[in-house]
């Protein structure tokens, strides 16, 4: 069985002169890809851009959203590993993780019920929940430094 790595082993990342700022920038790019493409598809479900075919836009948007999430998650994990002890005690970080779980649940619900094909009132509600959750996640992420 491998020996666990102590939490302080990654602490150097937070104090590196350029690594942590680069990780923050990469994290923001990932969030922009995720939320930007997600909002476009959600606006289309609300009827805006009706001349754009929803299935094609959704395929492209989902690909960008997943890519953005992967970039944000990977960079976020590296940043979190640099200060894991502090983050476990940070209420804003814990709330962010809870909201991420809720966003994942909402996405599973949305795709599981076929909301994209239905584009009905419940699908619109799910898009509002999605956007609200992601904005709250971003707010919590910014609040981590102040909590």
Give the pLDDT confidence of 99-146 residue by residue, as tens digits.
999 999 999 999 999 999 999 999 999 999 999 999 999 999 999 999
In angstroms, the CA 35 to CA 37 distance is 6
Residue 1 lies in a domain: no
Gyration radius from the chain CA atoms: 18
- Paired tokens of 13: 């990342």
Residue 11 lies in a domain: no
Residue 9 lies in a domain: no
Range of the domain at 136: 18-146
Residue 131 lies in a domain: yes
Residue 13 lies in a domain: no
Residue 7 lies in a domain: no
Residue 68 lies in a domain: yes
Residue 4 lies in a domain: no
Query: In sequence order, what are the residues at sequence separation of 6 or more whose Cβ sits closer than 8 angstroms to the Cβ of residue 60?
Result: 37
Q: What is the pTM of this model?
A: 0.89
Number of domains the chain is built from: 1
Three-state secondary structure string covering 44-90: HHCCCCCCCCHHHHHHHHHHHHHHHHHHHHHHHHHHHHCCHHHHHCC
């Amino acid at each position: 069985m491998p020996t666990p790595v102590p939490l302080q082993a990654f602490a150097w990342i937070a104090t590196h002169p350029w690594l942590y700022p680069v990780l923050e920038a990469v994290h923001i790019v990932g969030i922009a890809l995720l939320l930007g493409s997600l909002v476009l598809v959600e606006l289309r479900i609300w009827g805006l851009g009706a001349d754009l075919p929803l299935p094609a836009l959704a395929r492209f948007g989902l690909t960008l959203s997943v890519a953005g999430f992967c970039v944000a998650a990977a960079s976020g994990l590296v940043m979190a590993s640099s200060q894991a002890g502090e983050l476990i005690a940070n209420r804003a970080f814990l709330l962010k993780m809870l909201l991420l779980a809720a966003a994942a649940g909402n996405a599973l619900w949305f795709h599981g019920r076929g909301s994209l094909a239905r584009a009905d009132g419940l699908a619109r509600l799910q898009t509002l929940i999605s956007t609200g959750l992601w904005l709250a996640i971003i707010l919590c992420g910014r609040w981590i430094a102040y909590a």
